[in-house]
Amino acid sequence: MQSVGLCVKVNHPEAGGTVRGLSKWLAARRLTVLLDEDAGELIGSAGRPREVIAEEADLLVVLGGDGTLLSVARASGERAVPILGVNLGTLGFLTEVTHDELYAALERVLAGDARIESRMRLAVTAERAGESLGRWLALNDSVITAQALARMLDIEASVEGRKLTTYHADGLIAATPTGSTAYSLSVGGPIVDPAMDAIVLSPISPHTLTQRPLVLPGDREIEIRPSARAGGLQLTIDGQEGARLQEGDVVRVTRSDHPALLVCSPFRTRFDILRKKLHWGER
3-state secondary structure of 212: coil
In 3D, which of 229, 242, 224 has the Cα closest to residue 174? 224
3-state secondary structure of 15: helix
Contact 120, 259 (CB under 8 A): yes
Is 238 an annotated catalytic residue? Answer: no
| Pairwise CA distance, residues 220 & 37, whole Å | 38
The alpha helices in the chain, defined as continuous H runs, are: 15-28, 37-43, 50-56, 66-75, 102-110, 183-186, 270-278
Specify the pairing of strand 82-87 against strand 233-237.
unpaired
* Cα distance from N-terminal residue to C-terminal residue, the chain: 45
In 3D, which of 252, 127, 274 has the Cα closest to residue 192? 274
Contact 187, 204 (CB under 8 A): yes
* The one catalytic residue among 38, 66, 141, 249: 66
| Pairwise CA distance, residues 168 & 153, whole Å | 6
Residue 85 is given by DSSP the state E
Across 91-152, where does the E strand assignment appear?
97-98, 116-119, 122-128, 131-138, 141-146
Specify the pairing of strand 233-237 against strand 241-245.
antiparallel
Report, as residue numbers or ranges, the catalytic residues. Answer: 66
